Amino acid sequence: MNHKEGSLNIMSNSYSIAVIPGDGTGPEVVREGIKVLESASRRFGFKMDFSHYDLGGDRYLKTGETLTDSIIEELRRHDAIYLGAIGHPDVKPGILERGILLRLRFELDQYINLRPIKLYPGVECPLKDKGPEHIDFVVVRENTEGLYVGGGAFLRRGTPNEVAIQESVNTRLGAERCIRFALQYCRKRNKSRKLTLCGKTNVLTYAWDLWQRTFEEVSKEYPDIQTDYAHVDAITMWFVKNPEWFDVIVTDNMFGDIITDLGAMIQGGMGIAAGGNINPEGVSMFEPIGGSAPKYTGKNVINPLAAICAGGMMLEHLGEDAAAAAVEKAVMEVTGKHINSLAAGRMGYSTSEVGDLVADYVSRL
């Protein structure tokens, strides 16, 4: 919710943020993110109240609970959610991901997964001859449908004749609202005003027929946006060979999951990659995408920049554009002038020192 509307501009904007530090290094990186958000709120004159929720592996191991209905209701009453990481070495893979992360995305109808892929100055890029001028695009991933709905069945499970069916659900409404968001985002971003649909029309002839028809129809309403299409397999080649071709990409849930991890690698890795799970009409959630990194937990060596960037995305979403721009600028100062590497333990600074550096730049910008 943007509290600007209707205010007399006498009182500053105030936001209530639900914080889910989560597992592993989540709490460490979230602490630095909040440090930077607090610096930004002092510098740019708004208020943030943080309420912490102890969701994650430890709570699950103690209580058997991943997420409760009443917590979901409480989360709905916040302006945004700030998430650290979900994933615990003692919990079977899938339980926390489905029980917390995916459940929140679905129940809060966060139908967009927004993933900026931007190479910041000073960051080592694995692509030969590519620099910050070549890598700056955004993936808009559908976040509530496709293969992620969990529909399917087993037949004759455990027998030699076993059948497993995993269904991809694609709705007109789901594709349309995602494509519309991408078109509007592309317009607002105003870079090359080019939107690429990433699909697989040559093989997945039902799902991608629906997506393509919707894309063609809806994009007619946005004549200022140039449209393009690429198959998902080809797009993985172009990410490596010609990342400068892209401005905004829109795709489904599964393809988006895959191509955004490749995107994270070409922007310097999990130390910097952030994402937003967005419901433009509801409560959105911002997270570093790197996971809980158990082996670095509690060592003060994990890179907090991804969490800090997620905080910056949250500020932009809340309408605090100047503060969001300052956070990004500060991160660029730190990657460009300070840290040696984005990798955990090789930054030349500790987790909290990196947070201090960014917070300090923000206060002076």
In angstroms, the first-to-last Cα distance of the chain is 26
Rule CB under 6 A: choose which of 97, 244, 353, 356 binds ligand IPM: 97
Residue 97 interacting entry, from ligand IPM, Mn ion, none, C-beta within 5 to 8 Å by type: ligand IPM
* Candidates 109-117, 163-171, 238-246, 252-260; binding stretch for Mn ion (CB under 5 A): 252-260
Rounded distance, CA 179 to CA 199, Å?
A: 13
Q: Counting contacts by CB under 5 A, is residue 360 touching Mn ion? A: no
Q: Counting contacts by CB under 6 A, is residue 102 touching ligand IPM? A: yes
* Candidates 73-81, 82-90, 197-205, 250-258; binding stretch for Mn ion (CB under 5 A): 250-258
Rounded distance, CA 342 to CA 269, Å?
A: 8
Q: How many degrees, rounded to 5, is the angle at CA 46 between CA 315 and CA 310? A: 20
Least separation in angstroms between CB 254 and Mn ion: 10
Residue 360 interacting entry, from ligand IPM, Mn ion, none, C-beta within 5 to 8 Å by type: none
Rounded distance, CA 70 to CA 303, Å?
A: 33
Residue 178 interacting entry, from ligand IPM, Mn ion, none, C-beta within 5 to 8 Å by type: none
Q: In terms of CB distance, is 20 or 347 closer to ligand IPM?
A: 20
Q: Counting contacts by CB under 6 A, is residue 100 touching ligand IPM? A: no
Strand partners, 199: 231
Residue 318 interacting entry, from Mn ion, ligand IPM, none, C-beta within 5 to 8 Å by type: none
* Candidates 132-140, 183-191, 253-261, 276-284; binding stretch for Mn ion (CB under 5 A): 253-261
Least separation in angstroms between CB 258 and Mn ion: 8
Least separation in angstroms between CB 257 and Mn ion: 4
Q: In terms of CB distance, is 266 or 323 closer to Mn ion?
A: 266
- Quick one: how far is CA 262 from the chain centroid? 14
- 3-state class percentages of the chain: helix first, strand second, coil last, to nearest 5: 40, 20, 40
Least separation in angstroms between CB 195 and ligand IPM: 21
Rounded distance, CA 239 to CA 245, Å?
A: 9
Residue 102 interacting entry, from ligand IPM, Mn ion, none, C-beta within 5 to 8 Å by type: ligand IPM
* Candidates 45-53, 95-103, 299-307, 336-344; binding stretch for ligand IPM (CB under 6 A): 95-103
Q: What length is written for the chain?
A: 365
Q: Counting contacts by CB under 5 A, is residue 257 touching Mn ion? A: yes
Contact assessment for residue 22 and residue 52, using Cβ atoms and an 8 Å cutoff: no
Rule CB under 6 A: choose which of 257, 353, 356, 360 binds ligand IPM: 257
Strand partners, 286: 82, 276
Helix (H, G, I), strand (E, B) or coil at 144: coil
Q: Counting contacts by CB under 6 A, is residue 58 touching ligand IPM? A: no
Query: By Cβ distance, which residue is nearest to Mn ion?
Result: 257
Site mask for ligand IPM (CB under 6 A), range 285-304, x = bound: ----x---------------
- Phi, then psi, of 327 in degrees rounded to 5: -60, -45
Rounded to 10 degrees, the C-alpha dihedral 345/328/286/338 comes to: 10
What six digits make up the tokens of 289?
């995408």
- Phi, then psi, of 183 in degrees rounded to 5: -65, -45
- Residue-wise burial string across 71-86, b where 16 or more C-beta atoms lie within 10 A, e elsewhere: beeebeebbbbbbbbb
- Binding residues for Mn ion, rule: CB under 5 A, are 257
- Binding residues for ligand IPM, rule: CB under 6 A, are 97, 101-102, 257, 289
